[in-house]
Amino acid sequence: MPVSPDPSQRACQAIADLLGAQRPWDEPPAARLRFHGDAPVFDTPHALTLSAGAAIGAYALTVEKWWQLATGQRQTVAIDWMQAAASLNPGHFQTQNGYSLPALSLLTELKADFYRTADQRWFFPIGSYPHLRDGVLELLDCANTPAALGRAIGRWKADDLETAFEEKRLPGVYARSTEEWLRHPQGALLARQPVIEITRIADSEPEAPRPGARPLSALRVLDLGHVIAGPVVARSLAEQGAEVLRITPPMNQDPFRQTIDTNIGKRSAFLDLTQAADLRRARELIGGADVVVQSWRPGTLARRGVGAEEAAAIRPGVIYVSVSAFGDSGPWAERGGFEQLGQTVTGIAISEGVAGGKPRVVPTYLLNDYLTGYLGAAGVMLALMRRAAEGGSYHVKVSLTRTSMWVQSLGLETEHRPREERRHFAEGLLPLLETRTSAYGVLQQLPPVAQLSRTRAYWELPPAPNGAHPAAWQ
- What's the pLDDT score for residue 3? 43
- What's the pLDDT score for residue 250? 96
| Residue-wise pLDDT tens digits, 185-196 | 999 999 999 999
Lowest mean per-residue pLDDT among 81-85, 103-107, 312-316: 103-107
Q: Are 226 and 201 in contact (CB under 8 A)?
A: no
pLDDT-derived band at 433 (thresholds 50, 70, 90) equals: very high
For the chain, give percent helix, strand, coil, nearest 5.
Answer: 40, 15, 45
Average pLDDT over residues 152-166: 98
Q: What percent of the chain has pLDDT over 90?
A: 88
∠ at Cα 37 (39, 343), nearest 5°?
A: 25
Domain range annotation of the chain? 7-104+188-330+362-452
- pLDDT of residue 2 exceeding 70, the answer is no
Q: Are 150 and 109 in contact (CB under 8 A)?
A: no
Fold of 7-104+188-330+362-452: Rossmann fold (3.40.50)
The DSSP code for 46 is B
CA 238/CA 268 separation, integer angstroms: 13
| Residue-wise pLDDT tens digits, 22-56 | 777 789 999 999 999 999 999 999 999 999 999 99
| Residue-wise pLDDT tens digits, 250-305 | 999 998 999 999 999 999 999 999 999 999 999 999 999 999 999 999 999 999 99
Average pLDDT over residues 132-147: 96
Average pLDDT over residues 167-179: 97
Phi-psi region of 32 (alpha: psi -120 to 50; beta: other; left: phi over 0): alpha
- What's the pLDDT score for residue 181? 98
- What's the pLDDT score for residue 23? 78
| Residue-wise pLDDT tens digits, 103-128 | 766 556 899 899 999 999 999 999 98
| Residue-wise pLDDT tens digits, 351-366 | 999 877 899 999 999 9
CA 318/CA 309 separation, integer angstroms: 10
- What's the pLDDT score for residue 423? 80
Coil, helix or strand at residue 415: coil
pLDDT-derived band at 5 (thresholds 50, 70, 90) equals: low
- pLDDT of residue 215 exceeding 50, the answer is yes
Q: Which of 439, 374, 363, 430 is nearest to 400 (CA)?
A: 374
- What's the pLDDT score for residue 105? 60
pLDDT-derived band at 214 (thresholds 50, 70, 90) equals: very high
pLDDT-derived band at 243 (thresholds 50, 70, 90) equals: very high
Q: Which of 165, 141, 131, 173 is nearest to 343 (CA)?
A: 173
Q: Are 177 and 378 in contact (CB under 8 A)?
A: no
- pLDDT of residue 221 exceeding 50, the answer is yes
pTM above 0.85, yes or no: yes
Task: Round the average pLDDT of the chain to a whole number and report it.
Answer: 95
pLDDT-derived band at 102 (thresholds 50, 70, 90) equals: confident
Q: Are 361 and 343 in contact (CB under 8 A)?
A: yes
